[in-house]
């Protein structure tokens, strides 16, 4: 916060201050939770102003001996990162075949244009759709999927390329100057996760296109 606060435009500073005050008073607010995403480390993210995200976690203080019996441990909000939704993307091009020469790493600047959360039974996922600032074309989705019960899937983030939805390993560096590295395709993904992610992304894509067409109407 000390490092990034001065880099925020004034309107984003005001929006962040207002959001954090609301969050501290009502961390379980349905309005906040409905638009919150969670990463693989259990951190929460919220777009407090167009183009800016804040990540935080709820910290529960230990119960002291002087607290009344039955009292719950006090909570505080710990801000972890503030970042732009624009991400510097580094993508490793696939080799044409064995012995093929290495291909230079492709770089781009992407921005988030859509986000969703979904739960079906024990399976859950959130995702953000990103487009290229250079070409304006849709690049793909950042998705995180997991389960709360059978088949017991641990949280796992993937980059789902567009439009083929191939799931790639990825590394997301969350800070004010966010970067993302896209690795090779995940060929060992659990079939249940694969089907769930693909089916959900197809539905989200249809919903997004429907919303976009509605915005274009006079």
Task: For residues 207 and 115, state if they share a domain.
Answer: yes
pLDDT at 29: 79
Structural domain total, the chain: 2
State whether 23 and 36 are in the same domain: yes
Give yes or no: residues 156 and 50 share one domain.
no
pLDDT digit string (tens) for the chain, length 218 residues: 566 677 777 888 888 889 888 888 887 777 777 778 776 566 788 888 877 888 887 777 665 555 555 555 557 778 877 777 778 888 876 555 555 545 556 788 888 888 888 999 999 999 999 999 888 899 999 999 999 889 899 999 999 999 999 999 998 776 556 788 899 999 999 999 999 999 999 999 999 999 888 876 65
Is residue 196 domain-shared with residue 105, that is, in the same domain?
A: yes
Which residue bears the tokens 């959360």? 117
CB atoms closer than 10 angstroms to residue 15? 18
Contacts of residue 25, defined as CB under 8 A and 6 or more positions apart, other chains included, come to none
Are 72 and 174 in the same domain? no
Q: Which of 35, 60, 84 is a domain's end point?
A: 84
User: Which one, of 137, 141, 151, lies nearest residue 115 by Cα?
Assistant: 141
pLDDT of residue 182: 92
Task: Choose among 117, 110, 105: nearest CA to 139.
Answer: 110
Domain identity same for 174 and 204: yes
pLDDT at 216: 64
Q: Token pair of 159, please?
A: 């980059």
Q: Which is nearest to 77 in space by CA: 15, 22, 33? A: 22
Containing structural domain, residue 30: 5-84
- The whole-model pTM stands at 0.61
Q: Are residues 109 and 209 in the same domain?
A: yes
pLDDT at 93: 61
Q: State whether 9 and 55 are in the same domain.
A: yes
User: Is residue 129 domain-shared with residue 74, that is, in the same domain?
Assistant: no
118 and 201 fall within a common domain: yes
| DSSP code per residue over 49-61 | ETTEEEEEEEEEP
Closest C-alpha to 126, from 35, 23, 192, 30: 35
Are residues 171 and 205 located together in one domain of the fold? yes
Kindly state whether residues 96 and 170 are assigned to the same domain: yes
Q: What is the pLDDT of residue 9?
A: 79
């Amino acid at each position: 916060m000390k490092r990034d606060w001065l880099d925020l435009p004034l309107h984003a500073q005001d929006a962040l201050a207002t959001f954090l005050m609301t969050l501290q008073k009502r961390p379980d607010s349905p309005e906040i939770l409905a638009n919150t995403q969670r990463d693989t480390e259990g951190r929460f993210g919220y777009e407090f102003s167009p183009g800016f995200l804040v990540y935080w976690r709820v910290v529960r203080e230990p119960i002291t001996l002087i607290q009344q019996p039955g009292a719950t441990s006090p909570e505080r909000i710990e801000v972890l990162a503030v970042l732009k939704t624009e991400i510097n993307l580094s993508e490793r091009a696939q080799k044409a075949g064995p012995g093929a020469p290495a291909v230079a790493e492709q770089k781009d600047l992407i921005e988030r244009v859509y986000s969703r959360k979904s739960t079906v039974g024990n399976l859950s996922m959130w995702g953000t759709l990103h487009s290229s600032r250079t070409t304006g074309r849709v690049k793909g989705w950042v998705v995180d999927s997991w389960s709360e019960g059978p088949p017991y899937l641990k949280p796992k983030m993937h980059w789902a390329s567009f439009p083929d939805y191939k799931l790639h390993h990825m590394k997301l560096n969350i800070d004010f100057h966010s970067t993302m590295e896209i690795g090779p395709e995940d060929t060992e993904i659990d079939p249940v996760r694969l089907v769930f992610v693909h089916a959900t992304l197809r539905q989200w894509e249809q919903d997004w296109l429907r919303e976009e067409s509605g915005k274009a109407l006079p």
